[in-house]
Amino acid sequence: MKNTKRYIYPLLLSGLLALGAACTKKSSNGGDDGGGTTPVTPPPVTPVKTDVNMWLTQADQSQLLKKQNVSLLFASGTNSNTTINVDTTQTYQTIDGFGFALTGGSAYLLNSLDATHKTALLNELFATDSAHIGISYLRITIGASDMSAATFSYDDVPGDVSLSNFSLDKEKADLIPILQKIIAINPNIKILACPWSAPAWMKDNNNFYGGSLQAQYYGAYANYFVKYIQGMKANGITIDAVTPQNEPLNAYNNPAMLMVAADEANFIKNNLGPAFKAANITTKIICYDHNADHPEYATTILGDAAANPYVDGSAFHLYGGSVNSIGPVHNAYPNKNLYFTEQATFGGGNFGGDLAWHISNLIVGAIRNWCRNVLEWNLASDPNYGPHTSGGCSTCLGAVTIGGANVTRNVSYYIIAHASKFVRPGAVRIASDQQNTLLNVAFKNTDGSKVLIVLNTSASAQQFNVGFNSKIVSTSLPGGAVATYIW
């Protein structure tokens, strides 16, 4: 199996346009962040009276998370339009948040900005007021991922079973300082951590690339997790959840480690779970963390009577399989949670095609299949899609591209922002009518506000209604566009 992050999925390819990837270099106001002419400030617009606020992103990037000054008033009556009825009386899972992976490379790039630009960008990404996008969930790596400059673990001294040489010093240059700044902006942000590999000396090939964890080191590796969580806590960083292994069926990345379902179940029930319990660690253990084409990996672990009590739920990616394979795991184990923890966008992709695929499969699809969160992959990359390890993903596109002092916002920024800005942690998914070419998902926030995210998958504009409490409001969406409605 190849590195799964290099897959370019068929639906994305079918949406490629001649415009290419150059169009992704626009900011949230449609201007060019990389220099050029100074944007002209438009004259002020008097807001119209409205019951529903609408935020729009179009496939051609003429509108990018732009609030629309349109009057959307609920009224009695009917018309011939398709109606998406929203029903707050039917509730589903609670939402933990939306966000990205803060890889080591991302942290390095964010930390490389001068103080003024760094503060401005971190506030834009993580502040929860109306002017920012309010990222509420992060995934970080335990040791290096393939989006680090080089491979490493927190104890690279061979044979150090006591972990006397364990140290987080390698994270004190960039990751820990950036996380501390993020937590200062949003103290309630949830953080999921997972390794790409155990220390090489614990593996049967003594290498960060491929190989498997040797059973004789299961106990030491469980204590490695304990020391990590305690060490991060000492730096003011609470780890909400861990997965034992990123992409455990993908041994072809750098770093990577193969861990089949039976081995992960054994590690959880005999080592990791008991080690957390002995250390009074309440961090959740989430199993699997790989593609939807093998949901039986998750159900194997959840079906293990000794492992099950330690496991909060299971996590999925979508480089293989169908998003609709995730929901049946909830049906089989309804008391266990589901998470969507990674999907990359790639350099050379098309903004409109990527927008539609990710909104359809992640923001709508994963949430409708009971996931409590949605995470895109890399938060930040440089203009050459780095930093990354030798053999790591060389085309993974960050949500933002950081080149010197220039910051450009790419497609995954808008994919996540259409949810993170409006759907706050603690919200619940509520019922909404799914339509063939108007894919959608709805939420109710803890403050009572309702959120409806709609994607028009057709090539032409569509008129439709949003129905709520026996009233309707009529609206329209251009072909390929996504809108968030909030009332």
Residue pair 452/74 in contact (Cβ under 8 Å)? The answer is no
SS3 content of the chain, % helix, strand, coil (to 5): 30, 25, 45
The conformational region for residue 91 under phi > 0 = left, psi -120 to 50 = alpha, else beta, is beta
Is 247 labeled as catalytic in the residue annotation? yes
How far apart are alpha carbons 14 and 26 in whole angstroms?
23
Q: What is the dihedral of CA 404, 253, 267, 314, to 10 degrees?
A: 70
Q: Which of 247, 264, 296, 376 is catalytic?
A: 247
Q: Which of 124, 171, 264, 342 is catalytic?
A: 342
Is 264 labeled as catalytic in the residue annotation? no
Residue pair 251/211 in contact (Cβ under 8 Å)? The answer is yes
Place of tokens 């503060």: 119
SS3 assignment, position 106: helix
Determine the Cα angle at 120 with ends 346 and 185, to 5°. Answer: 95
* Strand-pair category, 471-477 with 371-378: unpaired
CA 51 to chain centre: 30
The token pair at 177 is 């300082």
The token pair at 154 is 């927190």
Distances in whole angstroms, Cα of residue 110 to Cα of each of 148, 196, 420 = 13, 22, 20
Residues 6+ apart with CB under 8 A from 59: 351, 352, 355, 356, 478, 479, 480, 481
Residue pair 104/177 in contact (Cβ under 8 Å)? The answer is no
Which H or E run includes 287?
strand 284-291
How far apart are alpha carbons 324 and 373 in whole angstroms?
16
How far apart are alpha carbons 361 and 368 in whole angstroms?
9
How far apart are alpha carbons 192 and 103 in whole angstroms?
12
The residues annotated with a catalytic role in the active site are 247, 342
